Amino acid sequence: MSYSKIAIVISMLCIVYCILYESVLLKHEALNSFVYALGVVSNCVSLSIIASCIFYLVTDYFPKKHQLDQIRNYIISNLELLEEIGKNAFTDIVNNSNPTKQDFMNRCDFDLMKREGISSQDNLLIAKSTNWFEYFDYMQRTEACVIQQLMTFESMIPVEVRLIFIELQKKNTIFSDSKEYIKYYNNDKTRRSMRAYANDIYSHLFSLIELKKIYNKTSKI
């Protein structure tokens, strides 16, 4: 049990005692002067504990709770931004924001140098990309900026989420190393279709979508 919960429980017991003391015990004559003095002291101590708890709640607990709530809302807002990027990417590729892995792999047979149609992405750099290499590159840059902002509050982000951040930013992927993958495209005809990297692309986008759910499940804030 946290310190704040213990303090509230003790204070509630003190409040109950003070009410009983004022409304019941004082109406009965004490057995002797010691018992009377003990009741007075107990009541004073209880009142002091209640005052201390109120002071703690007002000056420490509620301000910290408000700050933590603000941080949590900030984290969730940014995770929702990453989730939206992932869903919009799925929509741009297979016209479905939440496809199964098999459905994605069956439908993503596109030339990586040809990207057509209107993008669902809100980020103009991603939306105006002329090929999928540019698209994924700008996605990676946007993700990196958001993750960097989130890591300002690293101590409040569960390790499960941080591990996904590391995975999303790893080197030598079609998202993080577009120049190298363009070389693969030019030198190997079998690697010109998005389907050649479908598994990695799906895993990346799916991770973006799952981030908020994992945070909510593992966060202790």
Q: Cα(90)–Cα(139) distance, rounded to whole angstroms?
A: 12
pLDDT of the residue at 90: 97
Query: pTM of the entire structure?
Result: 0.82
Which residue is associated with the tokens 């596109």? 110
How far is residue 69 from each of residues 53, 63, 75, 104, measured CA to CA in Å?
Answer: 21, 10, 10, 37
| Tally of CB atoms within 10 A around 54 | 12
In contact, 160 and 207? CB cutoff 8 Å? no
| Tally of CB atoms within 10 A around 129 | 20
pLDDT of the residue at 198: 96
pLDDT of the residue at 221: 63
Across-strand partners of 193? 111
Tokens of residue 117, six digits: 């149609």
Tokens of residue 123, six digits: 């980020």
At residue 212, φ and ψ (nearest 5 deg) are -65, -40
Tokens of residue 73, six digits: 């809302």
Q: Which residue ranges of the chain lie beneath pLDDT 70?
A: 1, 30, 221
Tally of residues, the chain: 221
pLDDT of the residue at 85: 97
SS3 79: helix
Rg (C-alpha) for the chain, rounded Å, is 30
Amino acid present at 55 = F
Among 168, 171, 191, 205, which residue's Cα sits nearest to residue 113? 191
Q: What is Dmax (Cα atoms) for the chain?
A: 101
Q: What angle do CA 61, 63, 69 make, to 5 degrees?
A: 100
pLDDT of the residue at 43: 85
